[in-house]
């Protein structure tokens, strides 16, 4: 499996540290892309109701011949489905498309601004207690959102999936996660637009190591302890994005990359989105 380690979440669930993200993968290509990734050794796939490609993920899982126990699958609640009844219906719809009876990880995709994510989280807890989800988490939650869940509900999210890359290192949020044993998962791990991959610090370290720039950034995530879900539809890139465990960054190289932080988002701001 290319040496990808499992990280243990605070409830004892194990999650492969590197997975395939399928954001913006066209539904008609998703089956092929996911199947290719599974053949390359990926055992973690991250999708969302909002991506419109859950059915393709499910089809690939079924045709791969792999047992579900061998592949960790994440999906996320669509933004318009907050609240108990909507959440329960949305979960049923997602698991039907994925052809799964039990989901590995379910995330609230965005907190939105209506504060109904607490009711939604209580529905997540209900599904978890019924054994229909192995572990539950959130995505794009800021410290204020997390504190509200910690104050008003019984289960601490195991994961918070957020935009995170060397231009947005999220040190304060990651420290909060560590304090509460919440795993940090990075979406857009190499940032959008390609600017990061041409940064002279990144390209310089890539030259030093004989690696490509994307591998250097993904290895930085791994050494920080992040779960990371790079997205690609290119066969060669799918393979190289998984080849992160045959080299290491020095402490000095990790520091140089972390020092690139600009607090610069390439996606929406959770404090204002929705």
Instruction: Report, as residue numbers or ranges, the catalytic residues.
Output: 51
Report d(CA 226, CA 220) in Å as an integer. Answer: 9
Please enumerate in sequence order all residues whose Cβ is within 8 A of that of 115, keeping only pairs 6 or more positions apart, or say none.
Answer: 148
DSSP 108: E
Parallel/antiparallel/unpaired status of strands 6-8 and 14-16: antiparallel
DSSP lists the bridge partners of residue 144 as none
CA-closest candidate to residue 162, choices 179, 180, 143 = 143
Q: How many CB atoms lie within 10 A of CB 8?
A: 12
Parallel/antiparallel/unpaired status of strands 72-77 and 227-228: unpaired
Long-range pairs for 61-64: beta carbons < 8 A, 24 or more residues apart: 61/34, 61/98, 61/99, 61/100, 62/99, 63/31, 63/35, 64/35, 64/38, 64/39
Q: What is the DSSP string of 137-183?
A: EEES--HHHHHHHHHH-S---SEEEEE-BTTB--HHHHHHHHHTTPE
Q: What are phi and psi of 185, to 5 degrees?
A: -120, 135
DSSP lists the bridge partners of residue 107 as 76, 137
């Amino acid at each position: 499996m290319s040496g990808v380690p499992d990280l243990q979440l605070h409830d004892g669930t194990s999650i492969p540290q590197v997975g395939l993200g399928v954001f913006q993968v066209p539904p008609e290509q998703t089956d092929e892309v996911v199947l290719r990734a599974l053949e390359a050794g990926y055992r973690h796939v991250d999708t969302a109701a909002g991506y419109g490609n859950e059915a393709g993920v499910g089809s690939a899982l079924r045709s791969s011949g792999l047992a579900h126990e061998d592949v960790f699958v994440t999906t996320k609640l669509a933004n318009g489905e907050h609240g108990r009844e909507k959440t329960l219906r949305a979960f049923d719809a997602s698991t039907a498309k994925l052809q799964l009876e039990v989901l590995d990880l379910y995330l609230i995709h965005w907190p939105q601004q209506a504060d109904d994510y607490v009711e939604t989280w209580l529905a997540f807890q209900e599904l978890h207690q019924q054994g229909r989800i192995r572990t539950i988490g959130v995505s794009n939650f800021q410290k204020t959102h997390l504190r509200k869940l910690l104050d008003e509900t019984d289960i601490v999210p195991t994961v918070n999936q957020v935009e995170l890359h060397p231009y947005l290192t999220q040190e304060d949020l990651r420290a909060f996660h560590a304090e509460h044993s919440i795993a940090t998962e990075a979406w857009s791990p190499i940032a959008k637009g390609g600017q990061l991959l041409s940064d002279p610090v990144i390209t310089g370290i890539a030259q030093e190591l004989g690696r490509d720039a994307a591998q250097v950034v993904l290895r930085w995530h791994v050494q920080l302890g992040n779960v990371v879900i790079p997205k690609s539809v290119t066969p060669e890139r799918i393979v190289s994005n998984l080849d992160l465990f045959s080299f290491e960054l020095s402490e000095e190289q990790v520091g140089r990359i972390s020092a690139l932080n600009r607090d610069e988002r390439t996606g929406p701001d959770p404090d204002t989105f929705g």
